């Protein structure tokens, strides 16, 4: 017998069904609440509201568990290639050798951008934020592939759009960076892997070649995997709600890029470095800022510590901490900002104040350190996040379309003026 919950309103009882997920998550199904009672629920920020059923990502913040399609994030980060994870998220299973080779080849063959896109890039000012360029460029791709806007396309046509987007976004990201510093763009090279190709487009110059370092490539591969999906977060939900209007994939992903841009979401790793730079410039020593963070009357907050979902240690942080150590040791970088980061990490991991509150370094803290050590400028950090999150967004969009979910249309409680009559402007 299925479980139900009893709701009593004005002495009248209503039975609401209970839905249980495959990992024993439970939810009260209120889909017919308004029709049956005239009431809606109020949940600002949707912290207690399940907007959908999904088979993509499982997250348990209390236990520190993250898995993609049932595979623990620890195993995927240690053993998988990022494109394997892309295939897993989008299509539901890890690919066979034949499937993976075909998938990689298709992506490799679509990395070039139409030359007319250069006109758009040239029109942006060099000071334009790369996230603004990336969001606009992704949406612009739909104008080069108008067939992507047709409804009821074949699975093959949808797959082609997906592969084009996975292939072209790193090119767009690298070109956005090159534009921001006034350098000529580098074209993709098919001889490189996905991560190697991106690094080459970022750092090669007409005056010299760039050879990707295996340690750096491995760290980037891990970072992209760790960022690939994170359940129904702000940007994933944005992609779903835009896509629910039957908007094409490019427009839907563009909306996700814009949502990710905010400092409370994808911009957190940028905020980490900006905080560390502030501490360095201040010159008052790290403990001054540690004490400010502990002072509940002080507005200062440590960026990159704790997480809204994970109540203890972020499982992604455990993985990427080692990659950060490997990169720093391999490259032998001397950077006062990164030295402050190391000191801050040591304090947070051993101080009872932080341990008792679960304020451990999260993935944003370590990813910011890695990106800085690789020479990636701070304003590009969120772009890197977007590149990693792309397969998750695509998977969320694809799942929603396959399930034929209705257009998103949240309700509200109106708190404005009651009905009033219009008066002539001369009589007000």
Active site residues: 307, 364
Which pair of structure tokens corresponds to residue 362?
């999260």
How many whole angstroms separate alpha carbon 117 and alpha carbon 121?
A: 6
Full 3-state SS string of the chain: CCCEEEEEECCEEEEEEEEECCCCCEEECCCCHHHHHCCCCCCHHHCCCCCCCCCCEEEECCCCEEEECCEEHHHHHHHCCHHHHHHHHHHCCCCCHHHHHHHHHHHHCCCCCCCCHHHHHHHCCCCCCHHHHHHHHHHHHHHHCHHHHCCCCCHHHHHHHHHHHHHHHHHHHHHHHHHHHCCCCCCCCCCCCHHHHHHHHHHCECCECCCCCHHHHHHHHHHHHHCCCCCCCHHHHHHHHHHCCCCCHHHHHHHHHHHHCCCCCCCHHHHHHHHHHHHHHHCCCHHHHHHHHHCCCCCCCCCCECCCCCCCCCHHHHHHHHHHHHHHHHHCCCCHHHHHHHHHHHHHHHCHHHHHCCCCECHHHHHHHHHHHCCCCHHHHHHHHHHHHHHHHHHHHHHHHHCCCCCCCCCCCCCCCCCCCCCCHHHC
Q: In what order do the strands lie in the sheet with 57-60?
A: 57-60, 65-68, 71-72
Query: Is beta strand 26-28 parallel, antiparallel or unpaired with respect to 12-20?
Result: antiparallel
How many whole angstroms separate alpha carbon 366 and alpha carbon 169?
A: 23
């Amino acid at each position: 017998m299925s479980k139900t919950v009893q709701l009593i309103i004005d002495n009248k009882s209503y039975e609401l069904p209970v839905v249980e997920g495959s990992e024993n998550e439970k939810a009260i199904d209120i889909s017919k609440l308004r029709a049956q009672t005239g009431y809606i629920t109020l949940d600002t920020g949707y912290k207690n509201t399940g907007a959908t059923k999904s088979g993509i990502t499982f997250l348990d913040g209390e236990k520190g568990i993250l898995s993609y399609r049932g595979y623990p994030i620890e195993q995927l980060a240690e053993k998988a290639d990022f494109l394997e994870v892309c295939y897993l998220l989008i299509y539901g299973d890890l690919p066979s050798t034949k499937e993976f080779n075909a998938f990689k080849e298709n992506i490799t063959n679509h990395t070039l951008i139409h030359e007319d896109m250069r006109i758009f890039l040239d029109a942006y000012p060099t000071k334009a934020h790369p996230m603004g360029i990336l969001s606009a460029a992704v949406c612009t791709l739909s104008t080069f592939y108008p067939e992507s806007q047709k409804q009821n396309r074949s699975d093959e046509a949808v797959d082609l759009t997906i592969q084009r987007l996975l292939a072209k976004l790193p090119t767009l990201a690298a070109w956005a960076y090159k534009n921001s510093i006034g350098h000529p763009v580098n074209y993709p090279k098919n001889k490189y892997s996905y991560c190697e190709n991106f690094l080459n487009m970022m750092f090669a110059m007409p005056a010299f070649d760039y050879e990707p370092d295996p340690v750096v490539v491995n760290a980037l591969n891990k970072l992209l995997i760790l960022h690939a999906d994170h359940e129904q977060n702000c940007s994933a939900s944005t992609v779903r709600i835009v896509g629910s209007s039957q908007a094409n994939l490019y427009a839907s992903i563009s909306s996700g890029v814009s949502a990710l841009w905010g400092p409370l979401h994808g911009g957190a790793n940028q905020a980490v470095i900006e905080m560390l730079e502030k501490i360095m410039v201040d010159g008052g020593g790290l403990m001054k800022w540690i004490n400010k963070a502990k002072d509940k009357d002080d507005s200062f907050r440590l960026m990159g510590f704790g997480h809204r979902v994970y109540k203890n240690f972020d499982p992604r942080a455990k993985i990427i901490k080692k990659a950060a150590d490997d990169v720093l040791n391999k490259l032998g970088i001397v950077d006062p900002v990164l030295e402050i980061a190391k000191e801050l990490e040591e304090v947070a991991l051993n101080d009872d104040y932080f341990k008792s509150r679960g304020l451990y370094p999260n993935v944003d803290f370590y990813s910011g350190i890695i990106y800085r050590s690789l020479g990636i400028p701070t304003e590009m950090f969120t772009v890197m996040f977007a590149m990693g999150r792309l397969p998750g967004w695509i998977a969320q969009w694809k799942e929603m379309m396959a399930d034929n979910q209705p257009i998103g249309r949240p309700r509200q409680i109106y708190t404005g003026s009651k009905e009033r009559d219009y008066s002539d402007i001369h009589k007000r």
